[in-house]
Amino acid sequence: MVKGEKTPAAAAATKGGKTPATGGKDKGKAGKAKLPEEKTVDETFEPIKIDVKGAQTAVVCLRSTEENVLIRACDALFKFADKSDANKLLLHEMGATDTLFTLTQHENPIIKRNATMVFGLLSSHPDIRQYLRKIDCIPHMITLLSPEHEALTNEYAVFWLRHMCSNFSTKTQITSQNVLQPLIRLINENDPDVKFNSLSTIDRILDDYNARSLLRELNGIEPILNNLKSDYPQITETVCNCLQKLATDPNNRTVIREIGGLDRMIDFIGLDETKDVHVHCLNALANLLEDTECLDLIQSNGGLKRLMQFVQDSALPAVQAAAAKAIGRAARKPQNRKIFSEQDAERAMICLLLSENDEVRIAACQALAVMAESMLSRETIRNNDGILTIVQMMQKDNPRLREFSTLAMSNLTQSNSNNIRELQEQGGLDILIHLLNDEKDTTKAYACVTLANCSTDPVVRANILEKGLITNLLAPLHTNYEIAQAKAAMLLSAFGIDQKARPEVLSNAAIVPRIVTLSKSNNDEVRRNACFAISVLCADQAIAMEILRNGALEILRDLNASESRKSKFTEMALQRILDSQLSAKYSYLGRLENNNITTDGFYDMGPVPEGGKFLTIEELAVQEVNDRRPILIVYAPEKNVPQFQAVPTEMPPEEDRTRARSSSNSNLARATTPSKGSDGKEKSGSTATGRTSKAGKSSTKEKEAKTTTSTTSKTKKEKTSDKRSAADDKKAAETDSSATNITDPKAGYQSTPDQDFLTYLDEIRPQVAKKPLTEQIPILARLVSDKMGGVIALDDITTFGYEVSMIQLKAEIHSNIVPIGRIRKGIYAQRAFLFKILADRLGMPCTLVRGNYNRAWNEVVLGESSAGVRYPAKTWIVDLLHEPGRLIHANSSDARAYTTLS
């Protein structure tokens, strides 16, 4: 402190160590000593003026006990701190913060006021606020809001609270100290700074949802609303921000409606002099319009019509954009969309699309997208040329405008064929296909949804395919945005049902591998849509094989083994793949059902080992000849005889009906009759079910006409004729083999027609013609047994020697793949395989089941009747070895002996 310091003169006199004399006259005299005179002690200190030139000195002065020094020091520090944030931080580093807080509790109101002003000013610096949170100063600062303190003390105390509320944890702590009541009182003060700081503090406190209901309980909504038409734009803006947050609470909306807040806000928007803050008021009004009761009230008072007119007449783009956003947010409720539709809100939004400002256009597109969720609004938008205008917006350079215009179009085309046709007429299809390659992934997703909506119209779907949809689908499929991936997979499945699209899918080599990869995505929607696309595409055999090559079976098996990722879509995709590729189904499941009709190219590679992969015939063909079990295959295309096709995957109800018909007693008792019409024609229903018997060759028909009523009692001459006819057919098939070979250019695999199998067919057809199923089965079983080495006793199986025959045959043809007709010795697996494929050609329903240790068997379902009483059908196993043609009950001990190794 300056008190007690010496003057420069006194300092100079003291420097030599001498003490100043009291008087010069008495010096040197040697007389009597005089008595000392008594003097009165004067402790008064005359004031001195000090020129303080540094902030550090002023900070030191804060520790003075003199009130005048404290007042002037605080005043000087306030001016210094107000200059810059760096000065505020410097004062804090000098230790002024704690001292100033102490001075805010001083008894002198002027010192308290000045200290509060500096202390409040320091809180605007973030580093100082972080320090202030560590000291317990909030309760005291709230007490400074009381009316007993000066106005400046109130102002800077609330200024301090406003800045401290920038942190959420501090905000919660301040709210818990009952700060709202004094803040509401300060809102009504005349000082605009006090109003603004109080409203700003409340605005920040209202970020806490609980504070919004608390403010309503303290009757603080109306005082805030009373400041809406303030002369100061900052105050009006803050009021609108508070109302916007308060209006998120339904009870607060009720209070605002009851005190006439809606009308006051509509009137405020209509004032031209307040246009600078119209945007903020519209943001607050947007939350209120979400309440249907508020919207009804505005409509009944004519306020909604005024709002629509204001939206179109306003000259400020920001205001128009804010109004469009408010309408869009309110229209999310179906009840509100109906009210807006009555006020021609769709037409107003279409008018905003003609604006030159992109933000206004974007907001209008967003509003139209929401309103287009209503079927009535979709019609209204089209009738007001909305589709044409939105198509134009989809071509603009602004990425966000393209994004939201495409979103609006996706909602407009949902379940609305008129809008889809209008979109096509306005040239929107080319634009949408182009948008599949847009720079924004969200735009790609919306374009996929729109095109998927258009696929419901067959004419438009064909038009889209002609414009190259499949090729452009690669971009959204390969994006990293999961929503775009999901929508692209959905689009692929929507167009995959069209047969015209499938060759393009196959020609674009990257599509199938990508959709298979997406099937194992961690995103549920992506995985679900990808699996559904696989299910649809598997209707095409070539695509199904390509899906198989890319490992879809292994992926889907893993998915179905997971409890968290398994779904009906993964199960359906796996089932459709297996149904379209029976070779894979038999290898994985070891069972083919009655309705699984084998065709040319079906093969048995054996069971897939644990963790192994199913191999295609091309992959198996390149393997070197080994000593393992042969790969059985059937390839015997019949001339002028249509092949049975697998049950179409897109017709599950028909598949169920086919299964039911196959197991019905009436069909089981009905004789299977060859076709009497042209050899090359069958009804479509026969192809779908796969149960109509195939016609034989023309020579066979002629022989049938010459046979007696009992086919089994043929004369020797007729048998000779059959052999000659079979030989002629064999030569004809050999001549045409070059035209019917199946060639894979990648693997170089070539399938040659199995002439022996064709001979089997020609031989068995006359024998089973016009006979009931119960007689057909034994006849076929005996033929299979004869072709595979005849009857084998149970004890002679090990000495039958079929393995040597297989090895010799593989060495002869230099391949592990053996045509089934070439095998002359076979047991369970070989005979069951031959029985199944012959039965499928003849229209006889049976299964093919694989057991352990190279066992396999066939099951048939036959009904029984006695004395006119029909009994439930039973499952029987066909004996092909020991007593060919014998039917063994599936649950009997004989069946267990036949199907298992004892």
Q: What's the CATH code of the domain at 287? A: 1.25.10.10
**Domain-embedded: residue 883:** yes
- Smallest Cα–Cα separation from 72: which of 59, 91, 85, 81? 59
> In sequence order, which ranges of 314-457 are alpha helices (DSSP H)?
317-330, 334-342, 345-352, 358-371, 375-383, 386-393, 399-412, 417-425, 428-435, 441-454
Residue 793 is encoded by which pair of tokens?
A: 């006793």
Instruction: Enter the pTM of the model.
Output: 0.70
- How far is it, in rounded angstroms, from Cα 872 to Cα 864? 7
Low-confidence spans in the chain with pLDDT less than 50: 1-33, 642-748
Beta bridge partners of 751: 742
DSSP helix/strand/coil, 294: helix
109 falls within a domain: no
pLDDT of residue 9: 33
Q: Residue 660 carries which side chain, given as an amino acid letter?
A: A
**Residue 437 in domain:** no
Maximum CA extent, the chain: 187
Could you give the count of Cα atoms lying within 13 Å of 548 in the half-sphere of its Cβ? 27
* Whole-number Å distance between alpha carbons of 183 and 552: 66
SS3 21: coil
- Report the alpha-carbon distance of residue 414 to residue 713 in Å, rounded: 68
Q: Give the pLDDT score at 688.
A: 33
Contact between 170 and 131 under an 8 Å Cβ cutoff? The reply is: no
Q: What is the 3-state secondary structure (H, E, C) of 85-130?
A: HHHHHHHHHCCHHHHHHHHCCCCCHHHHHHHHHHHHHHCCCHHHHH
In the chain, the number of structural domains is 2
**HSE-up (13 A, CA, CB side) for residue 48:** 12
Using an 8 Å Cβ cutoff, are 270 and 310 in contact? yes
Nearest to 234, CA basis, from 199, 189, 283: 199
pLDDT at 293: 85
Query: Which of 332, 363, 384 delimits the end of a domain?
Result: 384
Flag whether 597 is in a domain: yes
In this structure, are residues 854 and 831 in contact, taking their beta carbons and an 8 Å threshold? no
Nearest CA to 809 out of 788, 795, 834, 835 is that of 788
pLDDT of residue 871: 75
- Comparing CA positions, the residue from 439, 438, 433 lying closest to residue 460 is 433
Give the neighbor-by-neighbor strand order of the sheet with 887-889: 859-866, 869-878, 887-889
pLDDT (0 to 100) of residue 44: 64
Residue whose structure tokens are 């009997």: 892
Enclosing H/E stretch for 802: helix 802-813
Query: Alpha carbon of 655 to those of 223, 395, 477, 541: distances in Å?
Result: 72, 47, 32, 17
Which residues, at least 6 apart from 607, have a Cβ–Cβ distance to it below 8 Å?
587, 588, 590, 850
Domain that holds residue 292: 260-384
Q: Is residue 808 part of a domain?
A: yes
- φ, ψ of residue 861 to 5 degrees: the values are -115, 120
Q: What is the spatial distance between Cα 503 and Cα 168, in angstroms, rounded to a whole number?
A: 60
Rg (CA), the chain: 47
Q: What is the pLDDT of residue 804?
A: 86
Nearest to 117 by CA among 159, 57, 145: 159
Q: Specify which residues 778 forms β-bridges with.
A: none
pLDDT attached to residue 40: 61
CA pair distance 426, 728, nearest whole angstrom: 63
- The whole-angstrom separation of Cα 598 and Cα 356 is 65
CA distances for 586 relative to 552, 582, 604, 748, angstroms: 16, 6, 7, 25
Q: Is residue 750 part of a domain?
A: yes
- 864, HSE (Cβ side, Cα atoms, 13 Å): 7
What is the DSSP secondary structure assignment for residue 275, as one 8-state letter?
G
Is residue 605 included in any domain, yes or no?
yes
Q: Which of 366, 384, 402 is the last residue of a domain?
A: 384
Last residue of a domain, one of 384, 413, 431: 384
User: What are the tokens at 587?
Assistant: 């290898």
Return the amino acid letter for 341.
Answer: S
**Does 6 fall in a domain?**
no
Cβ neighbours of residue 427 closer than 8 Å, sequence gap 6 or more: 391
